Amino acid sequence: MKIGDIAPFGVRMTTELKDRLHEEARRNTRSLNSEIVKRLEDSLSKENQQLSENKDDFENRISMLEDMIEKLKKEIQMN
């Protein structure tokens, strides 16, 4: 990452949250900024992964429903 790629962004948070983040950053041997960035990246990555899993699930369900519709059409034609 180049310096020009970094966009400064001020964040307001409670003292308690800041203290928790400082403690977690220390535990993970990161700066406060690095800890916040890592957590934001992780949350967005998890969100994208969940969306992808949901998409796969919906596609499977659609396929099953299409199969069921075809079977019902054949049954109707036979009667």
Other Cβ atoms less than 10 A from the Cβ of 24: the count is 15
73 found inside a domain: yes
For position 1, what pLDDT does the model report? 62
- Is 8 inside any structural domain? no
Print the domain residue range for 64: 14-78
pLDDT of residue 25: 96
**pLDDT tens digits, the chain, 79 residues: what are they?**
666 788 888 889 999 999 999 999 999 999 999 999 999 998 888 877 887 888 888 999 999 999 999 999 999 998 7
Residue 51 lies in a domain: yes
Query: Domains in the chain: how many in total?
Result: 1
